[in-house]
Amino acid sequence: MVWFHGGAYSSGTSNELETGGERLSRQGDVVVVTVNHRLNAFGYLHLAEFGAADVIDSGNAGQLDLILALEWVRDHAAEFGGDPANVTIFGHSGGGAKSATLMAMPKANGLFHRVMTHSGQQVTASRPSTASGHALALLKALGLDRTQVDMLRTLPMEQLVKVSRAPAYLGPVKDGRSLPRDPFDPDAPPQSAHIPMILGNTRGETRTLIGRGDPSLFALTWETLKPKLEASSPFMGSLDRADVIAKYREWHPEYSPTDIFFAATTDSRSWRGQVIEADRRASQPAGVAPTYVFQFDWRTPIDGGKWGAHHGLDVPFVFDNAAITPHFVGTGDEPLALADLMSRAWIAFARSGDPNVTGLPKWPAFDLGRRATMVFDRESRVVDDPRGRERRLFGQVPYVQPGT
């Protein structure tokens, strides 16, 4: 089981307490590999259009690092008791997006046999022209122009890190070489149709994604909700924010203004990408590998429960690390029981391609008729088409992958 960390394509590390692999490895008799790799300007700065020949693949260097890691697993897994013919990649946020991107990279074909993504989708990749513009923004921040790319080789690392956020986005590039197509557009990648997949999101992604940076969001009123949605939700496109609010108040009369803000921004943002990926997997020809969809609803009690089922909360559960992350999940038997259940399901899927285990309701494969989704909560259950009204509402808006 090979883990790719979150942090978009710009930050993050696998060296986190919640993603330590020891407990998962001991529980399931699996080899757990966690990978660090080149990020931001070092991993995704597209210089091919104005650099030397040896930087032609620079826009996907971070992805190529992951492929090298998987080649290492193929060559050395058996030395640790692993099976190189049964490799699962899984990741959260940017790590999920990296996994989705690998599903469309020819060099990665055959290096993994299962995929699990958590709150991380990559429907489209950057166009070369867009990525070149981002590279120019970084050069400009350094006081350089397109003729001075070679100077990047000698600049101190700290200087490059300092300006790495000057571009609006750094991420995979559909360069016609290592990534010849968009990962999940216009369809799911045919080269990975035979690979079983789990994908899902948490119910309250933006409570931390947006909420950590704006404490006022936890004190919204009915008067301040609409302007906040207008300022914070480009993913809603041209939908009238007052109409969105009215629909959420009708569907969820118990929601506060804060609840509606985080629900609507979650449903229109990263969850949209997951819906698209699941739908396109389910639209592939009959007989391809199954897709399983989950929704993580369990709410952390930390800080009085204000963070809800936030972005990344599911990670310590699938690693069976709830016992060592009370700062994330609180204490008591409840998080321990859920961690035991989810980690066993993830191990079962890695081993066989089927996540069904004792103690979990029967988890059917996803299809466009039923849209069966496993909802992980205090009492986990299968729900057909959860948030179907929200899905149809935001499905009216053309989806644009952030940054691409």
Q: Which residues are catalytic?
A: 93
CB of 57 closer than 8 Å to CB of 178: yes
CA atoms of 154 and 138, how far apart (whole Å): 15
Q: For residue 66, with 0-12 CB atoms within 10 Å meaning exposed, 13-18 middle and 19 or more buried, which class applies?
A: buried
- Which helix H or strand E contains 34, and what residues bound it? strand 33-35
Token pair of 150, please? 């070679």
What's the one-letter identity of residue 57?
Answer: D
CA distance 76 to 215: 47
Q: Coil, helix or strand for 38?
A: coil
N residues, the chain: 404
Determine contact, residues 312/6, Cβ cutoff 8 Å: yes
Q: What share of the chain is helix, strand, coil (3-state, %, to 5)?
A: 45, 10, 45
User: In 3D, which of 349, 353, 388 has the Cα closest to residue 371?
Assistant: 388
Closest among 63, 73, 134, 71 to 104, alpha carbons compared: 63
Identity of the residue numbered 403: G
Q: How far apart, in Å, are the Cα atoms of 381 and each of 216, 298, 301, 374? A: 34, 12, 21, 6
Question: Can you tell me the distance from the alpha carbon of 292 to that of 342, in angstroms, rounded to the nearest whole number?
Answer: 13
